[in-house]
Structure 1
Amino acid sequence: MTVMDSVAPPAPPRTAAARLRWALADGWTITHRDLAHRARRPGQVVVELLFPVMIVLMFAYLFGGGMAIPGGGDYREFLMPGMFAMTMVFGVEATFTAVSADAAKGVTDRFRSMPMAPSAVVTGRCAADMLNSALGLAVMIACGLAVGWRWHHGLGPALAAVGLLLLLRFALLWTGVYLGLAIRNPEAVMAVQILVWPLGFLSNTFASPATMPGWLGAVVEWNPMSATVAATRELFGNPGWGGGSWAAQQAPLLALAWPLLLIAVFFPLSVRRYRTLDR
């Protein structure tokens, strides 16, 4: 037996406070690792930030002239809350790819062999993605201001709207983490896109649910993204589609309930899946 073999790993902390500090410290280590990887790929970061800006410019200046908003209102102010939400939703593919690539390459197994907090890898990954998401949302808000979008109900409601957008992103990140750990194949990102793109486009971002067939309009109104878009339009004071259904009238409530439900389901699933990767 070598000296290295005789060194036992440190025992996990026993008190709840010590375990929390342990988890936070290990989670920050993983967060720092993921951010360092992104810093080494500035070109990819720039493309990720500018792609949604290009979509905004296309819709605002190419299609905006042909769009009519119920009750009047500026199309660009109508558009931007939906684009903010789509930016939060479409980042799930990047989360899935990063998590599944680590799992496929054995990086995740290496982490699991270390004396780390069991939740550190998944929470660290989500923390890094949330920081990137906050940066992306800031770029989109700057883009919106540049094309004429404004909020009209004061700073407090505007910050609440930003909080709802980041909450949606946080909830969907756990979905991406779980799928990445479950599939463990970065090339399967197309399967994730098949799930994400309907979530983004079967929403009230571009079209009113009232103009759709009854069953499809109901699906759109109960879409978690639609709830966030409707709630943020209301908080920003931007024009929206309105609607008399319960889902349309209770959009702020659903904008909180849907993400919390997704977190309650996929956070424990992600941690459990991480613990049982080799089974």
Structure 2
Amino acid sequence: MKLATLRTPAGTVAVRVDETDAVEIDGYADVGALLANTDWRSIAETAGGLAHPLDGIADTAWAPVVPAPSKIVCVGLNYRNHILEMGRELPEFPTLFAKYPEALVGPYDEIVLPGYASHAVDWEAELAVVIGTKARRLSPEQAVGAIAGYSVLNDVTMRDYQYRTPEWFQGKTFEATTPFGPFLVTPDAYGVDTDIRTEVDGEVMQHSNTSDLVFGPAALVSYISQIVTLNPGDVIASGTPGGVGHARKPPRYLGDGAVLTTVIEGLGTLHNPVRVEG
């Protein structure tokens, strides 16, 4: 099953995305609100609200699939090829940092960069894990059942701000820089073993497979749940593969007018123009 959050003239609404239509799930303004109901799966499966033909939906009508999660927990250095690319050893524990919801934009929205922080802007394609039930101190086996589904996210990063200090946070959560969506795909419809790639202006920059994760989705949910309660709608950005711009020689970054495309086969595509504010 695919779920999404759709922008309509009446406001946003959670939808089930079928083969030809996006069907409104009445009473739920977005996928996060839907997941807060413990019966979210049956509610979504039986929804019969207004149907929007997919071929009539404008790209920018798709909102971030969960527009306002209570937590966005990000994982650094979690693809084997990226760790080796950065000259590091495989980690014993996940490297964690956070984003705030204000960083999120829709799958086709502009990525808006302030001029004072647009000199070393990098791309990071990531598999997003979305939580479907409260998760606290779960084993990896229990954590499997806490995953509502998967989506696509790009952890666009201001490298100059990131490396001002040993802590990464300040380079990771600039507002309106993190595309997320277009769909949440439930685990029965997606296996974590598909191509993941980033393109900049049509040129492939990252290309790997989600199976290259050092710490898989269930392991991440379990580990993070030992530290903090994960709530329905919370997001784990599971890390990026090799091919980031900062590791290239010479480095390459996003600039004004660039188009960033992020694809995970089986989940969907983000396609975001980049705009630098004066």
Q: Structure 1 length as normaliser, TM-score?
A: 0.28
Larger radius of gyration: 1
Q: Which has the higher helix share?
A: 1
Q: Structure 2 length as normaliser, TM-score?
A: 0.28
